[in-house]
């Protein structure tokens, strides 16, 4: 019987390495740790929905997700991250699983470059999905505040740059379910930004619609 990894100890190690690190001046300290936590949860949910019987790689999916941005800020962070994780996790993971974890870290950014195994592709999709929807709004609002931007700067970004980025990123997703979830996240963002813009221009809303006389 294969011995389970000590996920609690590895999670504590991930927090020690990333829990208070600030990799971008306009992101909160520890962002990469909490992002990794969310990616792990999303990747497991995708696996359960798409491959319900394939439980064998759940541990490497979780750990790879936790550590996928461990070298964020040192580029190419996927290469440095895979190397760094190899050192950090050597005492905690057997060689085969460590190699899989490093494959996730190395491949999480290099999407569509080869036919990755599902445990890599699930993390690739989860990584994208966490960057969109409510979390995407949070990141862009934080960035705008750090740049001393205005609310109009925010909705102009969503009118222009966001729409350009959306099509490119959507094409990188691996699974139809991921695309469906991504599209729902996008619809939420567009609805929210339309209302933000309208309220920012001084309009009233009632029952979810602009109030009319």
Q: What's the total number of domains in the chain?
A: 2
* Helices marked H in 68-150: 77-88, 95-107, 118-130, 134-146
pLDDT-derived band at 3 (thresholds 50, 70, 90) equals low
Q: Are residues 92 and 180 in the same domain?
A: no
Q: Across the chain, what does the average pLDDT equal?
A: 92
Q: Are residues 14 and 104 in the same domain?
A: yes
Query: Does residue 124 fall inside a structural domain?
Result: no
Q: Are residues 100 and 17 in the same domain?
A: yes
List, in order, residues 6 or more apart from 63 with CB less than 8 Å away: 5, 7, 10, 89, 93, 97, 101
Query: Does residue 23 fall inside a structural domain?
Result: yes
Segments forming the whole domain that contains residue 100: 7-112
**pLDDT tens, position by position, 84-132:** 999 999 999 999 999 999 999 999 987 777 789 999 999 999 999 999 9
Query: Does residue 125 fall inside a structural domain?
Result: no
Query: Does residue 117 fall inside a structural domain?
Result: no
Query: Does residue 123 fall inside a structural domain?
Result: no
Global pTM value: 0.91
Question: How many Å apart are CA 213 and CA 170, to the nearest integer?
Answer: 40
């Amino acid at each position: 019987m294969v011995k389970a990894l000590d996920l609690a100890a590895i999670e504590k190690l991930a927090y020690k390495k990333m829990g208070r690190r600030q990799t971008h001046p306009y992101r909160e300290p520890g962002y990469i740790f909490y992002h990794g936590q969310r990616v792990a949860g999303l990747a497991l949910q995708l696996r359960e929905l798409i491959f319900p019987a394939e439980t064998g790689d759940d541990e490497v999916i979780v750990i790879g997700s936790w550590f996928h941005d461990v070298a964020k800020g040192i580029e190419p962070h996927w290469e440095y991250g895979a190397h760094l994780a190899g050192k950090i996790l050597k005492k905690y993971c057997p060689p085969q699983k460590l190699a899989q974890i490093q494959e996730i870290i190395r491949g999480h950014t290099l999407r569509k470059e080869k036919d990755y195994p599902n445990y890599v592709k699930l993390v690739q999709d989860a990584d994208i999905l966490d960057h969109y929807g409510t979390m995407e709004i949070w990141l862009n609002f934080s960035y705008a505040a750090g740049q001393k931007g205005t609310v109009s700067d925010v909705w102009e970004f969503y009118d222009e740059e966001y729409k350009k980025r959306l099509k490119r990123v959507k094409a990188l997703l691996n699974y139809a379910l991921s695309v469906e979830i991504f599209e729902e996240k996008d619809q939420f963002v567009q609805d929210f930004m339309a209302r933000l813009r309208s309220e920012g221009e001084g309009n009233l809303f009632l029952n979810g619609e602009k109030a009319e006389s």
